[in-house]
Structure 1
Amino acid sequence: MLLHTNVSNRYAKTLITSKVKNLNTKAQETTFSIVTPEKAFISGFTMEIDGKTYEAYVKEKEEAKKTYDEAVASGIGAAHVAVSARDSNRFTVSVNIEPQSKATFYLRYEELLVRKTGKYELVLNINPGQPVKNLVVEVNIIESRPLKFVKVPSLRTDILIVNDTTAIVTFKPDVVRQKLLTSILGGKEDDGLSGQFIVQYDVARDPLGGEVLVDGGYFVHFFAPEDLPSLNKQILFVLDTSGSMGGRKIQQLKEAMNSILDELKHVNVSYRETPSWRLVAFPEEEQSSQYPKILPDSFPASAENIKKAKEVVEMLRSGGGTDIQKGLEVALKVVNKYFDPKGNQPIIVFLTDGQPTEGTPESITSTITDHNKYKVPIFALSFGSGADKAFLQKISLKNDGFARHIYEAADASLQLRNFYQEISSPLLTNVTFKYVNKVKNVTRTYFPILFNGTELCAAGITDVGFQPTLIEALGRRGPITLEPKVYQSTGSLERLWAYLTVKQLLEARQVAKDKESITEKALAIAVKYSFVTDITSLIVVKPNATSALDLEDASEHPTFMNLNRSFLTSAGSSGYGPYRFGGYTRSRLTGFRRISKVTRISAAALPPTTQAPSWIQKVLNNNETISVNARNYTLGLNEQFGEGNECSNSVDNSTGHCTLIHECPKVHNYLTDLETYKKYFCEQKSYAGVCCPSTP
């Protein structure tokens, strides 16, 4: 099986190739199902069956349903694939395979990579269902600007730096390697590798005005300034403590808030530069009697106040209903009381796990938007499957923010902390790209806020005489004007422009009163470029079968949470097999295997028995090495060497043997920090090891 991705100017095009062969004496049905990234558009699907090619095509959703119904009535095999209202991203198609016949599936999807915390991240789902002879992942990165770094966290891969703007990442684990990785990730060796292959990179950029790339009558402007001071900020946390937040949820919320408070403490440079914050827990009447004297309206994040804030967090208890409007109104009252256009930048972070028990989503959205007279960004976090994600997305978009889903899992507190890190350092507000002349069909040009480590992007079609424009914004020291630089793009920009235009039109459609005109614009571009979206469907014509299929929300049937699946028996050494990519290939043949939980292939995801101590993540270099005695060593989390040479510097002063760190979990409690670890360090086959005592 093959996963092949080309990334050009942050725009990724992925082709997934899957082959199966029916070794049975009877025709069998096989199902090809994959999970694509949330922001990606499927842009093509082809099946090759018995030498015949079946190409899918995109139509407007209602027209596609009509075409499908007509095909069914006439006896032609067909399927239509449509995005459901839940913004789903699972692609599934079934087809009959004749005895001894082969089938090849080709799925293509596209996405603009989003920059977070100083890096772009490409995620590819790998889940073949069993060890396979030929597993190949190849990622080609070709940027117009020099690459700062390219890395694959915690995996041994081949990274070829062709030149300063081009790199090739390949991952070709043989069967033995696949079984080893599966075992390390806590799965069963015979179930095959299940996880996410992640490539991270960043580019060197103009430190201020950004880069304008031009090619073939299109332009794209990337803007991510690096040398600007952060704005002072006032952060208001509006937290749901209703009855449904009981148990593990409220505990994870407390853990995340304590970590966030620690980060606030570390940015205390001076009183003026110290962020202020306020906690609103709703239903507040259940909490207010416990902490009114401890928690004033808003206060600086000094060490003493952080200590008091943690006391407040510890007092939080779950109970009562979900009065979302009241919680947000309290936060906005604090903003209005202290708002100063030259002072701290207000930011509201709002988390809930349920639906409102007071008011309707429409009335709450309207009321909060009206009360938000200073247009403070509201970032809504939906926690678990019970939250109304569509409502939270709408209230965020109407209030210059965005929504994010927090999955109810063991790492929920980590998800919350990671989200906070994305928005913890605002650089600019009221960012405006001043594109007016010699351009047309320009995407969004106004952005209410820019955070450090992220990137803003505008694209459009150029006319003769096009010149890049200035960027105007408000910074720490007041209004600023920045001038970009122009570069010739290394690749075409047309599909990037089309993707970004459709994405932004669909967002605007969610909150618009008149949806018809926006829908027409988005539909015309989506059909032209074969994008499967909320308003388009993919028609798949198939031989000898008829079925109607939808793209589904992968979280409704989570590929990454113990989903049981069966699959077609391997075709041996021919290269054809039951390949699944973030989904499954299924047949009605007798016998099936249970697939293990899919996990993210990174050091943070390793089970406790094979994991390095957590503090190591904080001292890793950019190339995933650790520095000891003026040398850099790889951890070898994907290796299994067993006992090495004898050593005498074990934690109990007994004679031991040098092993990789994750192979000696009994010493992890002793390795509390880097300096302590150095005392027990040893080199194990050029990797960072530890002297593992022979005593139990």
Structure 2
Amino acid sequence: MKIKHFKLISILFFLAFVCAYSIGSPTESNLVVTTLEEKNQNHNKESFPIKPLSVKINEIHVTSRVRNRYAVTTIQSKVKNYNHKAKQASFSVILPDSAFISNFTMEINGQNYTAYVKEKEEAKKIYDEAVAQGSSAAHVATARDSNRFTVSVNVEPETKAAFYLTYEELLKRQNGFYQLVINLHPGELVRNLDVVVEIAESRKLVNVKVPPIRTGNEVQSGINDLDPRAVLDIVNDTSAVIKFTPSEERQKALAHSLGMKEEEGLAGQFVVEYDVERDPIGGEVLVQDGYFVHFFAPKDLKPLLKYIVFILDTSSSMWGQMIRQLKEAMYEVLDQLHPNDLFHLVEFNTNVRVWNLNNYLQSVWYPTSDDVYWSESYGPEDIANRTFPEAYMVNGDNIKKAKESISKFEAVSATDIHTALQVGMHLIKTTKQNIKYANHQPMVMFLTDGEPTVRETSTQKILNDISKLNDQKTPIFALSFGEAADKNFLQKLSLNNYGFSKHIYEGADAALQLQDFYRQISSPLLSNVSFKYEPSVTSLTKNEFSIHFDGSEMVVAGCYDQTENFDESFGNVTAWNGHDTVSMNFTVQRTVSSIERLWAYLSVKQLLDQKEVDEENKALIQKKALELALNYSFVTPVSSLVVVKPNATSSVDVENAKIGEDYSALTDNRFGGVPLSAGLYSDFDYDESIDVPDYNYKTTEKASNDLFMSYPWLNSIVDKEGFITISKGKYKLGLNETISDVVQCKANNKPGYCVLLNSCSQAYSVILSLNDYINYFCELQNEYAGVCCLID
């Protein structure tokens, strides 16, 4: 096909938005805009020389407008191809996992191409048709708690292209402030780079500040010269404008301070923090055009007494750095407990140990011996017949003993999650029966780095059993630690049990992540919080909450009859303050910001959570979420973005950001440091006199690079020789191999054929992590790592 014909083709592409949503986790909004020059394909695998850049980013403009905690962020990137041949330009944005894309437009050669949102399955058909034509998706990953959007297009010689993307999010209040985070990683120095944040609130702004630039993956301390030198303009009591316009020299200096290559420009997160003046009682309600939002974060309340059960995984997979970090974090957490609080210290592996702080030799193991390693699961009746140590009051002596106990933790044996949680529920039930502790708010902090491996291993049965046992309505805060932890299961565990989950990434700062998580739940102020409104109020989001913590905020939204006068008498908030049930009235204020979109956003978010735990009504809940998503053009886990791309050279996808990867990992050193974030598909040197090669043509190097693009988690387990090491052994990836053996296999009780990972086109859409891969793993010729490619 001649290139002049090729240039007329437009292909529909689908963007599957994968959202790893964690309730209560810090959001990290990010921006990455990158370009990629063609690689020379005639060179050694260990060292790829890269040609001088010919597609240059001339401008990056980020504008974030925050209206009553609801942020709408628009990213604009303008590039130019200075080469005399057509070249590929890539636009890539990493979104916070709580954000929804709401608009995407490309301007190529003066023509606009605007994306539209479709139902996920319908969009997938479009996507599969594109794949059948020889295109393939680029999976890439960088920052924590994020999802990445990437699109690549050809830019004609000496012409420009522009990209515009908008995403929306409700800022979450944590530790007493809201935080808007925008990550900048253009991959080069940009002549015109600026970020403008406009804040307009209904109440007086408090403590507006711009902290130092940060990397976005590890908690930092002691790094100098990361002041963004932003201009902060307090317009009036309720509004502010922040501008960040680093010159190329300043971009170099910041890159140097962050440990990055200066020529690759700034690679870090720009952060704005602020709070608003609080209503001391029932919070504020904003109304507009039949919609309302209720923000509730009362101040000057005395913290509740709490009773916390620490249930900590010490199975063999916690060996080494992870167990050391757990100990380090727990020493700090114990120091943050309040006087007169209660606590139990429980560790689990194959068995469960409830620690006796006065004599660790008298700590109670359950079951009592490894002889029952393969026994059937133990139920609450068996546990009720055992006598465990009583809860300990927080004082200096008991904290010292608890630290000594934790110092004796050893990582051994398997993982019995079911029994550990049953023991935790039993401890809470028996402790709360003591009249002395009736006013202590029970909580569970549960941490594991794996999945259930002994006795009861069905996660669904564990979820059902623990929900039935939790008659105290105790919040369970689940922490998934490391790559192998079953994050979906732990998220459901928390959602089912009045809490929220958080992933702790493996890294040097893991102990600090654990400490930060505990800080969020360290001071409960109210329990059994209920928002009540007049019957004319409809379409309410969640309005019953188990517990409210100091520094956080509860948000409820809904619709009201505009013929009614929505005022302070329209409802109230009731809650338990540790001694009595109190009733609090709220204030009402009219606003000009879009309360309707905030309501829609919050409704979709909560429906998606509800879908995960309500199996009986899952289909109906998903239908409601989809209807809202399509109506408001939100890209969500149940809806997808269809992008019209001119002169396509690669397809588009969104990928969960890789766990624990930092910006230095954006280059794959095995292949000469080529930026993974840019997409590794080679451009073609176009010539009017020759035919264009078929797009699905792959060189050996390109096939290898595509593999690491599609499966970014491979980077952490593959060595320079192309071997991977997993729990099942050490295997070749077979990057340059072709195996014709016919080997039947099964995965998820479905039949398939065992093939090399780069030979299964369907795998990248279902294998999103190392844990997924292990579920589909199969062995080829006793030495190659295969994947069970299912038969449709």
Flag whether TM exceeds 0.5 (same fold): yes
Match of 2:653 among 542, 550, 558: 550
Structure 1 Cα separation of the partners of residues 476 and 287 of structure 2: 34
Deviation at residue 291 of structure 1 after TM alignment:
2.0
1:461-490 Cα deviation digits (max 9, x unpaired): 110213431001111221000000011224
Residue aligning to 2:360: 291
Whichever residue aligns with residue 533 of structure 2, its letter is: Y
Check the 8 A contact 2:476/2:498 in 1, yes or no.
yes
Residue aligning to 1:127: 185
Mapping of 1:58-97 within 5 angstroms?
58-69=117-128, 89-97=147-155
Whichever residue aligns with residue 467 of structure 2, its letter is: T
Residue aligning to 1:220: 293
- 1:192 and 2:273 are equivalent in the alignment: no
Whichever residue aligns with residue 539 of structure 2, its letter is: N
Mapping of 1:63-212 within 5 angstroms?
63-69=122-128, 89-154=147-212, 155=227, 156-212=229-285
Structure 1 Cα separation of the partners of residues 534 and 118 of structure 2: 33
1:102-124 Cα deviation digits (max 9, x unpaired): 11111110000000010000110
- 1:278 and 2:344 are equivalent in the alignment: yes
TM-score (norm 1): 0.77
Deviation at residue 70 of structure 1 after TM alignment:
5.7
- 1:327 and 2:423 are equivalent in the alignment: no
Deviation at residue 442 of structure 1 after TM alignment:
1.1
Structure 1 residue ranges without an equivalent (≥5): 269-273, 567-577, 591-696
Structure 2 Cα separation of the partners of residues 292 and 489 of structure 1: 63
Match of 1:426 among 491, 503, 524: 524
Structure 1 Cα separation of the partners of residues 466 and 140 of structure 2: 33
Deviation at residue 548 of structure 1 after TM alignment:
4.2
- 1:45 and 2:45 are equivalent in the alignment: no
Distance 1:280 1:187, change over 3 A: same
Distance 1:108 1:552, change over 3 A: same
Q: Secondary structure at the match of 1:89?
A: strand
Residue aligning to 1:679: none
Check the 8 A contact 1:77/1:542 in 2, yes or no.
no
Structure 2 Cα separation of the partners of residues 16 and 565 of structure 1: 27
Check the 8 A contact 1:29/1:95 in 2, yes or no.
yes
Distance 1:442 1:87, change over 3 A: same
Deviation at residue 556 of structure 1 after TM alignment:
5.3
TM-score (norm 2): 0.68
Distance 1:472 1:173, change over 3 A: same
Distance 1:542 1:277, change over 3 A: same
Deviates more, 1:366-375 or 1:419-428: 366-375
Check the 8 A contact 1:250/1:318 in 2, yes or no.
yes
Residue aligning to 1:238: 311
Distance 1:509 1:87, change over 3 A: farther
Deviation at residue 333 of structure 1 after TM alignment:
1.1
Deviation at residue 82 of structure 1 after TM alignment:
14
Structure 2 Cα separation of the partners of residues 187 and 150 of structure 1: 29
Deviation at residue 72 of structure 1 after TM alignment:
7.4
Structure 1 Cα separation of the partners of residues 683 and 667 of structure 2: 16
1:317-364 Cα deviation digits (max 9, x unpaired): 101101111111111111011115842111000011111103211111
Structure 2 Cα separation of the partners of residues 338 and 235 of structure 1: 11
Residue aligning to 1:648: none
- Identical-pair percentage: 50
Match of 2:606 among 474, 490, 504: 504
Check the 8 A contact 1:236/1:277 in 2, yes or no.
yes
Structure 1 Cα separation of the partners of residues 585 and 622 of structure 2: 34
- 1:471 and 2:590 are equivalent in the alignment: no
Structure 2 Cα separation of the partners of residues 543 and 474 of structure 1: 59
Q: Secondary structure at the match of 1:18?
A: strand
Residue aligning to 1:355: 451
- 1:486 and 2:591 are equivalent in the alignment: no
1:387-426 Cα deviation digits (max 9, x unpaired): 0111001111111111101111111000000100100000
Residue aligning to 1:314: 407
Distance 1:353 1:427, change over 3 A: same
Match of 1:259 among 309, 314, 332: 332
Mapping of 1:396-407 within 5 angstroms?
396-407=494-505
- 1:344 and 2:440 are equivalent in the alignment: yes
Check the 8 A contact 1:22/1:102 in 2, yes or no.
yes
Distance 1:221 1:178, change over 3 A: same
Distance 1:557 1:208, change over 3 A: closer
- 1:533 and 2:633 are equivalent in the alignment: no
Residue aligning to 2:544: 446
Match of 2:93 among 34, 38, 42: 34
Structure 1 Cα separation of the partners of residues 234 and 643 of structure 2: 39
Q: Secondary structure at the match of 2:118?
A: strand
Distance 1:193 1:587, change over 3 A: farther
Deviation at residue 25 of structure 1 after TM alignment:
2.3
| RMSD over aligned Cα atoms | 2.7
Structure 2 residue ranges without an equivalent (≥5): 1-59, 213-226, 365-388, 685-792
Residue aligning to 2:71: 12
Distance 1:151 1:584, change over 3 A: farther
